[in-house]
Amino acid sequence: MKESQPSAIFLKDYKVPPFLIDKTELTFDLDEATTIVTSRLHMRRNPAFGKSTAPLVLDGGEDVKLIGVAMDDYSLPPEEYRISEGKLIITATADKFVFTCETLLEPQNNTRLEGLYRSSSMFCTQCEAEGFRHITYYLDRPDVMSVFTTTIIADQSRYPVLLSNGNEVERSKTDDGKTLVVWHDPFPKPAYLFALVAGDLAVKNDVFTTQSKRDVKLQIFTETHNIDKVDYAMEALKRSMRWDEEAYGREYDLDIFMIVAVDDFNMGAMENKGLNIFNSSCLLASPETTTDDSYLRVEAIVAHEYFHNWSGNRVTCRDWFQLSLKEGFTVFRDQTFSADMHSETVKRVEDVSFLKTAQFAEDAGPMAHPVRPASFIEISNFYTLTVYEKGAEIVRMIHTLLGKEKFRAGSDLYFNRHDGQAVTCDDFVAAMQDASGVDLTQFKRWYSQAGTPIVTVTDRFDAENGTYRLTMKQDTPATPGQPTKLPLHIPIRVGLLDELGNALSATVDNVNSEDHVLHLISNEQVFEFAGLTARPVPSLLRGFSAPVKLRYDYAPANLLLLMSADSDGFNRWSAAQQLAVNELNTLIKQSIDGETLSVNSQLAHGFKTLLSDASLDPAMVALVLALPSQAYLSELANPIYPAAIKQARQYLKAQLANTLAEDFERVYREHSISGEYQATAEDIAHRSLKNMALSYWVETKDETAHRIVLEQFQSANNMTDQFSALSIAVNSQHEKAAELLAAFYEQWKDEPLVVNKWLMLTASQEHDAALATVKGLMEHPAFDLKNPNKVRSVLGGFGQSMSGFHKEDGSGYRFLADQIILLNKRNPQIASRLCTPLTRWKKLQPELSVKMKAELERILSEELSKDVYEVVSKSLA
Ligand code: PHE
Ligand code: ZN
């Protein structure tokens, strides 16, 4: 254990910066061995801070070597400044001055992938959240916005492409024959949006004409061998630019927009001003190497980063507690964009299913925190599903409360009022409220209160006067640091159906409609629907109108009715999921009690109807057929019995497969499309249903099905079909599974992104030798501990395997803990993220829980990075 543990910082301690930086002039002299950075900061005291003689305190990192410091070109002798805990402190300064410093970096030794580092043959940067301080001493906080001019000097032959934010304004040769390029970004920005790239890169060019008829040059850069895989991203970028003009009135503001793909990246992508940097897994796409899911991900992430140009860059965050200001809003924007490009209901189901599996689990665990956290030890740990996904749900609820037009008025006001500023979540809500006149005072509690509310609904029909009453209760469980909770403003969209599934109109508060948004604002409330002649079936929480856990005791017959007839597509899916969860929970219980599994599946009836209805969107059918995942069942369970969950799910899948074998075979054949691959909603829908049907059909152990898996694997003309066949073979323990895995690797060993998918599938297998397999993968030539994508594939995949990770003797936990300890120093962000499965220890069955806890304690006894320390210590608290 360290002598002193890292301490938390608090939102309530926020103070405006004592100094401002009007202009930032940087010079990078790039070289493999050492890079010299010269920074000239035009600074002055911040009038908003009040009259003061506060010292100048600049942020820096241990990996930055300070060469020299000057004030207005007077070199400071060492006694006139000091460095303490990474900070550079100068006690006496003028009110206005130019601060200069020179630092020395070793990017090739930067394994944290923050600041300036090397990826393959290039130099690149990552500065969000606090990476800029690993480049030079600075006021590294988002409310210090500055105009950047960046000079890059490098060897022409190895680094012909030299990029930074803004526009290229100068290019020349130095005396020793190197290239010198100057970039200028006219928009003031915080340091976290700074970027630099240098390399021998290929480029794809395009042009976008904005709504005001300005031509913007678009460029995507990759290493030469990948440039044939950027066409899809380029088209997605143009669609995003157009959409933001139409949906939000936001036009792009510079003359050039660049994207660079890098192989080594901690996250998905980064919205640096005018120069987005992407994890290559989130940018590159080709039919042969990329699955449909990944195509959609590329489109969504290209859009997300582009949308940040307004929601994040033009209007940025005052401090990192406000992270959801940009992330929640931008996720909401990218979700809406994808819905507009494809199917709204499919997109909603996918997003909600992810939220309910992963964000709900986070909100119920030791790292639970409000969307606007009140404190943190390491900000990198707060790029969470809560800040991103639940944050997007908050914005979506505002959209529901205001309606489309007023929401747009609110966003216009927000952008106009705060352009060029660093603001807070309160400012966002204030703009929405001011533009709409809708009171959001109570609603704002969603930002400060952690935990997933439970909404319990009971009902009563009064035949005499034709009224139907819904009684709703809300209750949010305690979370760390928040023992008691206040009632939230929860919008609950509700419709009513008759016994045949027809929509009923009813009157609530004098409004007659088939669809009502109820405002649950108290702990308990009654809503009355008038004008009914018989007891209706309620369709509750349509479109998942609030991120809550809904409890209502549906009869299976009513779930079947909703599943086949509700006018809300989302709730049709939701009813099927509920039915499946109920049956699976029965089976899980039988398994825990050591009984023989058996269930009289109602779901089979529902599936049968679905499979023979040609009018339905095949993508929706595929989603309904997808049984709740092991991860989602684990989120619902308390305690979690991993083996029982696995067994129950396998049993139900086989059961359904046997009952509906002929339907699955027919649907498989009906949706097998031929022709050239296209990533359109329609084709994706056919492939998803076809492959879902095959995954069932193969469970019948039918010989034809088994042969078809092999045929599809061999003859597929696209990665979606080939990889689906492979996954189906692996998950169904096909006798040829091992052979196919080997063949797949052989075929794709030179395509790193495909190899990553192979690593993930291999690592997540459910079989007795799962742990040994993963240990083998870590020694495989395709593995590389330095590459976050590979680490995520293997160790992230392993964390999903019930048989490997949750081995009875705890050896799976021990193995993961060993890897976390290994990565803790090398790449703290990645190490910290790998801790997630271990944070669930309190919910596990007792025998496993103690073993998992012991591994957390073992990690805590090491000398830890702030990142890992925060997650592990909070998990044990
Ligand atoms: N801001 C990035 C996004 O959401 C995510 C990111 C955070 C990337 C930190 C790198 C580092 O678009
Ligand atoms: Zn983002």
The predicted model gives 37-62 an average pLDDT of 95
Is 85 a residue whose pLDDT tops 80? yes
| Atom from ligand 1 closest to the CA of residue 271 | 12
Q: Which of 25, 114, 223, 305 is catalytic?
A: 305
Nearest CA to ligand 1 atom 7: 128
Averaged pLDDT score across all residues of the chain: 97
- The full set of domain ranges for the chain reads 9-200, 310-549
Q: What is residue 725's three-state secondary structure?
A: helix
For ligand 2, the distance from its centroid to the CA atom of residue 271, given in whole angstroms, is 7
The predicted model gives 190-208 an average pLDDT of 99
User: Residue 218 forms beta bridges with which residues?
Assistant: 206, 257
Predicted pLDDT at 1: 44
Predicted pLDDT at 52: 87
Predicted confidence (pLDDT) per residue in 616-650, tens digit: 999 999 999 999 999 999 999 999 999 999 999 99
The predicted model gives 580-598 an average pLDDT of 98
Is 135 a residue whose pLDDT tops 90? yes
Predicted confidence (pLDDT) per residue in 145-185, tens digit: 999 999 999 999 999 999 999 999 999 999 999 999 999 99
For ligand 1, the distance from its centroid to the CA atom of residue 790, given in whole angstroms, is 19
Predicted confidence (pLDDT) per residue in 440-451, tens digit: 999 999 999 999
Nearest CA to ligand 1 atom 1: 270
The predicted model gives 807-826 an average pLDDT of 98
For ligand 2, the distance from its centroid to the CA atom of residue 507, given in whole angstroms, is 41
The Cβ of residue 486 has, within 10 Å, a number of other Cβ atoms equal to: 11
CA–CA separation, 498 and 163 (whole Å): 63
Chain mean position to CA 743: 32
Q: For ligand 1, say whether the CB of 267 is within 6 Å of any of its atoms.
A: yes
pLDDT grade for 92, boundaries at 50, 70 and 90 = confident
- Both tokens of 467, joined, read 């009224």
Q: For ligand 1, say whether the CB of 721 is within 6 Å of any of its atoms.
A: no
Q: For ligand 1, say whether the CB of 126 is within 6 Å of any of its atoms.
A: yes
Predicted confidence (pLDDT) per residue in 306-331, tens digit: 999 999 999 999 999 999 999 999 99
The predicted model gives 368-375 an average pLDDT of 98
Predicted confidence (pLDDT) per residue in 476-505, tens digit: 999 999 999 999 999 999 999 999 999 999
CA–CA separation, 722 and 623 (whole Å): 20
| Atom from ligand 1 closest to the CA of residue 269 | 8
ipTM: 0.99
- Both tokens of 535, joined, read 């007891």
Please give the backbone phi and psi of residue 307, each rounded to the nearest 5 degrees, phi first: -60, -30
CA–CA separation, 362 and 384 (whole Å): 9
Is 673 a residue whose pLDDT tops 60? yes
Is 715 a residue whose pLDDT tops 50? yes
For the chain, first and last CA: distance in Å? 16
Report yes or no: 287 and 270 within 8 Å, Cβ to Cβ: no
Q: For ligand 1, say whether the CB of 389 is within 6 Å of any of its atoms.
A: no
For ligand 1, the distance from its centroid to the CA atom of residue 808, given in whole angstroms, is 37
pLDDT grade for 3, boundaries at 50, 70 and 90 = low
Predicted confidence (pLDDT) per residue in 698-708, tens digit: 999 899 999 99
Architecture of domain 310-549: Orthogonal Bundle (1.10)
Helix (H) or strand (E) holding 706: helix 703-715
Q: Domain 9-200 adopts which CATH fold?
A: Immunoglobulin-like (2.60.40)
Nearest CA to ligand 1 atom 9: 128
196-199 and 122-126 strand pairing? antiparallel
Predicted pLDDT at 518: 98
CA 249 to each of CA 211, 246, 412, 415: distance values in angstroms, whole numbers, following the listed order: 9, 6, 8, 10
For ligand 2, a single-atom ion, the residues with CB < 5 A are 327, 330
Q: For ligand 1, say whether the CB of 128 is within 6 Å of any of its atoms.
A: yes
Q: Report the length, in residues, of the chain.
A: 877
Predicted confidence (pLDDT) per residue in 784-813, tens digit: 999 999 999 999 999 999 999 999 999 999
Predicted pLDDT at 418: 99
Report yes or no: 721 and 714 within 8 Å, Cβ to Cβ: no
Cα dihedral 871, 872, 875, 877 in deg (nearest 10): -110
Helix/strand/coil (H, E, C) string of 273-331? CCEEEEEHHHCCCCCCCCCHHHHHHHHHHHHHHHHCCCECCCEEECCHHHHHHHHHHHH
Predicted confidence (pLDDT) per residue in 216-244, tens digit: 999 999 999 999 999 999 999 999 999 99
Predicted pLDDT at 2: 47
Residue with tokens 């189901």: 349
Predicted pLDDT at 440: 99
499 belongs to the catalytic site: no
For ligand 2, the distance from its centroid to the CA atom of residue 15, given in whole angstroms, is 25
The predicted model gives 457-470 an average pLDDT of 98
For ligand 2, the distance from its centroid to the CA atom of residue 330, given in whole angstroms, is 6
In DSSP notation, 613-655 reads: -TTS-HHHHHHHHSPPPHHHHHHH-SSB-HHHHHHHHHHHHHH
Is 193 a residue whose pLDDT tops 50? yes
CA–CA separation, 798 and 767 (whole Å): 12
User: Residue 215 forms beta bridges with which residues?
Assistant: 209
Predicted confidence (pLDDT) per residue in 420-436, tens digit: 999 999 999 999 999 99
- The burial of 52, by beta-carbon neighbours within 10 Å (0-12 exposed, 13-18 middle, 19 or more buried), is given as exposed
Residue from 113, 127, 128 whose mutation best tests the ligand 1 pocket (most atoms within 8 A of CB):
128
